[in-house]
Structure 1
Amino acid sequence: MRRNAVRLFLAVLVALAAVLTGTAAPAQAAVPESPAVTYTNPIAAQRADPHIFRHTDGYYYFTATVPEYDRIVLRRATTIQGLSTAQEVTVWTRHTSGIMGAHIWAPEIHFIDGKWYVYFAAGATDDVWAIRMYVLEGTGSNPLTATWTEKGQIRTTWESFSLDATTFTVGGVRYLAWAQRNPAEDNNTSLFIAKMANPWTISGTPAEISRPTLSWETVGYKVNEGPALVQHGDKVFMTYSASATDANYCLGLLTASATADLTAPASWTKSASPVFTSNAATSQYGPGHNSFTVSEDGKSDILVYHDRSYKDISGDPLNDPNRRTRVQKVYWKADGTPDFGVPVADGVTPQRFSSFNYADRFVRHWEYRARIEANVSPLADSQFREVAGLAGTGTVALESANFPGYYLRHKNFEVWLEKNEGTAAFASDASFYRRAGLADSAGVSYESYNYAGRYVRHYNYALYVQTPSTATDRGDATFYAQ
């Protein structure tokens, strides 16, 4: 007993000495399960209502509404970015008369039971607003060269305006969700869901799970449309688009348990506020009609959507051809709910940087001072674009996602977020050399351009540029990109 007590006492003395001399290694956070991904927006000009499907053959398949509203196009590439330059193929063209003859809208491509399916909406040549949902079936390994046949209209409760069909499986059950005009309601479209008997036929009575009643859902038009589903943990989240297709267009969110009866309206809870809206600071307007895909490493959920780079539109927004396809990473809060942040500026997409030794704390700006903090809100305060350094070749700069033109820079060796003033001093203070993480090569460290050997590090949760000399210092100067 006495021997054990002595050993414990000596161990405490050794640990205390390590702390006092700064040699103790910091606690290490786990390497993030969802590391950083970066893309360059936009992915495709003049392509609205985008849908990207990642198949088991290693390709991403992309389709979207074209401004002429007259055909269905497909692209494929092994990367999401590669879709921007991939060859585009027309796989189907509208009928010259009758149904499926006008307003070819919102195609989605899926692979079900060994065949390809494209879901889309179309009007008729004698009534372009008689919009209904239709399905194409493709046979062949590559949908760009497949043989396509028309499976006809998806029949629902009413013969009314209906569009934006999407399909997904939860718990082994395949569902169809869509938007449709309910003749009993004073609005344009509500959201419905039903199980599927086969890829072009629903089974049972469709359930209405959302109608446009909130102020942000009814600007210009009373609209709930464009449903898209993503599952995370034990919950499913259905985004949808609301209001007119101008700068008021935005995303709402429905939430349900993955084990619930998704055809029961009571299973779904609607968020009171929109989750993705126009942002003047980043020059993105009317973000909406999204889909979801996954990153190339399969570790990140990716939001795919369209918007415009300007607010004011002349005439009917449907006649404006400049909605473009964009992508950005979805982040997940500690409670398992999604955080979409803001529609980011054109160009390279931003990242977040978590602390090596405090897994839940991220670099963020707060009243322009840089620090690390948990549960950052708004999300964009903790997002930065790594761009070419202001001081020249070989350096990088960290630009704020929600304050474009503002960069992390050191001043009196403190790190602040400040607007680029265009001086040589600012360029030097805001430029860094990106290094392998000092405490973990899987991470990243940023060495000052104009003070060699000084790195960005946190101390008492605020950021400084200092010379790391201990294991603790090196841990404080190491971050994981997410």
Structure 2
Amino acid sequence: MAFATCLASAPARAAVPDSPAVTYTNPIAEQRADPHIFKHTDGYYYFTASVPEYDRIVLRRATTIQGLKTAPETTIWTKHSSGVMGAHIWAPEIHFIDGKWYVYFAAGATDDVWAIRMYVLEGTGANPLAATWTEKGQIKTQWESFSLDATTFVVGGVRYLAWAQRDPSVNNNTDVYLAKMANPWTITGTPVMLTRPTYSWETVGYKVNEGPAVIQRGGKIFMTYSASATDANYCLGMLTASASADLLSPASWSKSPVPVFASSAATGQYGPGHNSFTVSEDGRSDILVYHDRSYKDITGDPLYDPNRRTRVQKVYWNADGTPNFGIPVADGVTPQRFSSYNFPDRFVRHYDYRARIEANVTKLADSQFRLVPGLAGSGTVSLESVNFPGYFLRHENFQVWLRKNDGSAQFASDATFRQRAGLADSAGVSYESYNYPGRYVRHWEYLLNVQAVSTATDRADATFYTQ
């Protein structure tokens, strides 16, 4: 009985998160739009994207996502000097299918640069940067009309192609379509339309649904797509289906009524879109890959503004199993989340500027913080808000608040911490006050305070896992 009582009074212990924190430094590639990153079984990430000249297909590879930033770039294919595939080389994607490499891309013709169609290259060889590439020709669809942004994925052993195309009978720019594939360059059966731009946020400048990308988790298929003109109005929508449903039935898909990823004036990121998905180096985190610009106002046609850049950030998952992309984070190091050691479903977040732990934080950016060099001294850290850049967690009367940096020495000291191994689990992290050594950030009745710790419960309350 005494043993049982002892167990009951011991602080709860959380499991180390399945998806620990991963951080990258944005941007990954300047002047590279429509990015696609593919992690292969050879240990390399392969990266391709549209170049501003729209005249060639390039590849990079590196063993890390960050390494793609400085990896040498190889041109594997150049536009034709005349005829089809002679203009507007857009949105390449690289895939490895049945032992060969395939690059899907869109191109116009020299005599009609807007006769955009989808084409496929096939590569043989272990390293696609040195592969022998063969043109497999155009992907034929139900119409000979403006079509682009082909992507391929497998569900239940069946390979599908999703793409964007203009229905000649409708006053739209593009809708998103889906079909099964007979082989990596041929669709089979009758394509179905999955989404048409009807919401106001899908029709700014142009009526566009394009750039489909698929991520799968928990028996669900999530298909993101891009909408509106390629300026600051560009954003991501999302479709959802059950992996066991008939994916070629439009009724199997539900559409988000609001964008799932959009411009953020707070972080200075505009027009995020044309995304793809990859996974972290340890395979335990999903990564959103996308382009945007660091400014809102564009002179002339945004299609010819060269400064879209490739960026990455971690995808988080809501309690209901849906992906949460948050907001496009500021340039520089990507943020982390902090889950409670003894309340594993609760994350550190700010609400009305007060710091607390809370479950099911669907407003993701409230629970994301950038770990930056300490404001008060070397070897220390400060925690900056993602959606309120320039605001930091600081203690006031030993309560932790989110406050704007006023530049004072007092603020710097109050907002600076020493990062320690977790007091209750060395796999976690604890934060000791810089100007009050021995006091740690801990939760008490779910609010964060800076307090001295002595008991096992104190240490558990002061331990967090990074995610």
Structure 2 length-normalised TM: 0.99
Give the structure 2 partner of residue 166 of structure 1: 151
What is the deviation of 1:53? 0.1
1:269 aligns with 2:254: yes
**Structure 2 matches for 1:232-243, cutoff 5 A?**
232-243=217-228
For residues 87 and 425 of structure 1, the distance between their equivalents in structure 2, rounded to whole angstroms, comes to 46
| Residue of 98, 110, 117 corresponding to 1:125 | 110
For residues 304 and 250 of structure 1, the distance between their equivalents in structure 2, rounded to whole angstroms, comes to 13
Gaps of 5+ in 1: 1-7
Cα deviation, 1:402-424, whole Å, max 9, x if unaligned, reads 00000001111110000111011
For residues 419 and 82 of structure 1, the distance between their equivalents in structure 2, rounded to whole angstroms, comes to 34
In the alignment of these two chains, the number of paired residues is 467
Tell me if the contact between 2:324 and 2:362 (Cα under 8 Å) persists in the aligned partners. Answer: no
For residues 342 and 427 of structure 1, the distance between their equivalents in structure 2, rounded to whole angstroms, comes to 27
Give the structure 2 partner of residue 194 of structure 1: 179
What is the deviation of 1:25? 2.9
| Residue of 353, 363, 366 corresponding to 1:381 | 366
Give the structure 2 partner of residue 407 of structure 1: 392
| Residue of 381, 387, 395 corresponding to 2:380 | 395
- Hey, which bits of structure 1, 4+ residues long, moved more than 6 A? none
Give the structure 2 partner of residue 61 of structure 1: 46
For residues 431 and 324 of structure 2, the distance between their equivalents in structure 1, rounded to whole angstroms, comes to 27
Give the structure 2 partner of residue 90 of structure 1: 75
Partner SS state of residue 426, structure 1:
helix
Give the structure 2 partner of residue 468 of structure 1: 453
Partner SS state of residue 83, structure 1:
helix
Give the structure 2 partner of residue 149 of structure 1: 134
**Structure 2 matches for 1:338-349, cutoff 5 A?**
338-349=323-334
Higher mean alpha-carbon deviation, 256-265 vs 75-84, is at: 256-265
What is the deviation of 1:376? 1.1
What is the deviation of 1:183? 1.1
Cα deviation, 1:36-63, whole Å, max 9, x if unaligned, reads 0000000000000000000000000000
| Residue of 116, 124, 131 corresponding to 1:139 | 124
Cα deviation, 1:21-78, whole Å, max 9, x if unaligned, reads xxx4310111111110000000000000000000000000000000000000000000
Structure 1 length-normalised TM: 0.96
For residues 336 and 238 of structure 1, the distance between their equivalents in structure 2, rounded to whole angstroms, comes to 14
Tell me if the contact between 2:318 and 2:362 (Cα under 8 Å) persists in the aligned partners. Answer: no
Residues 440/11 of structure 1: CA separation in 2 closer, same or farther (3 Å cut): closer
**Structure 2 matches for 1:324-339, cutoff 5 A?**
324-339=309-324
Amino acid at match of 1:427: A
Cα deviation, 1:264-318, whole Å, max 9, x if unaligned, reads 1111110110100000000000000000000001011100000000000000001
| Residue of 422, 430, 437 corresponding to 2:407 | 422
Give the structure 1 partner of residue 356 of structure 2: 371
**Structure 2 matches for 1:22-37, cutoff 5 A?**
24-37=9-22
Partner SS state of residue 380, structure 1:
helix
Tell me if the contact between 2:23 and 2:336 (Cα under 8 Å) persists in the aligned partners. Answer: yes
Report the aligned-residue RMSD. Answer: 1.0
For residues 205 and 392 of structure 1, the distance between their equivalents in structure 2, rounded to whole angstroms, comes to 64
For residues 381 and 301 of structure 2, the distance between their equivalents in structure 1, rounded to whole angstroms, comes to 42
Cα deviation, 1:416-470, whole Å, max 9, x if unaligned, reads 0001110111111111111110000110101111111111000000001111100
For residues 143 and 388 of structure 1, the distance between their equivalents in structure 2, rounded to whole angstroms, comes to 39
Give the structure 2 partner of residue 5 of structure 1: none
1:312 aligns with 2:291: no
Cα deviation, 1:359-382, whole Å, max 9, x if unaligned, reads 110000011010000111311000
Larger of the two Rg values belongs to structure:
1
Gaps of 5+ in 2: none
For residues 194 and 294 of structure 2, the distance between their equivalents in structure 1, rounded to whole angstroms, comes to 32
Give the structure 1 partner of residue 421 of structure 2: 436
| Residue of 91, 95, 111 corresponding to 1:106 | 91
What is the deviation of 1:233? 0.7
For residues 11 and 425 of structure 1, the distance between their equivalents in structure 2, rounded to whole angstroms, comes to 48
For residues 185 and 28 of structure 1, the distance between their equivalents in structure 2, rounded to whole angstroms, comes to 58
Partner SS state of residue 433, structure 1:
strand
For residues 61 and 464 of structure 1, the distance between their equivalents in structure 2, rounded to whole angstroms, comes to 45
Give the structure 1 partner of residue 166 of structure 2: 181
For residues 171 and 37 of structure 1, the distance between their equivalents in structure 2, rounded to whole angstroms, comes to 30
For residues 131 and 25 of structure 1, the distance between their equivalents in structure 2, rounded to whole angstroms, comes to 65
Cα deviation, 1:319-342, whole Å, max 9, x if unaligned, reads 100000000000001110011000
1:458 aligns with 2:443: yes
For residues 108 and 368 of structure 2, the distance between their equivalents in structure 1, rounded to whole angstroms, comes to 42
For residues 174 and 56 of structure 1, the distance between their equivalents in structure 2, rounded to whole angstroms, comes to 19
Amino acid at match of 1:393: S
Amino acid at match of 2:154: T
1:218 aligns with 2:203: yes
**Structure 2 matches for 1:288-307, cutoff 5 A?**
288-307=273-292
What is the deviation of 1:11? 5.6
1:281 aligns with 2:287: no
Amino acid at match of 1:309: S
What is the deviation of 1:475? 0.3
Partner SS state of residue 90, structure 1:
strand
Amino acid at match of 1:187: N
Task: Give the % identical residues.
Answer: 80
Partner SS state of residue 375, structure 2:
coil
Partner SS state of residue 457, structure 1:
strand
Give the structure 2 partner of residue 4 of structure 1: none
Amino acid at match of 2:413: S
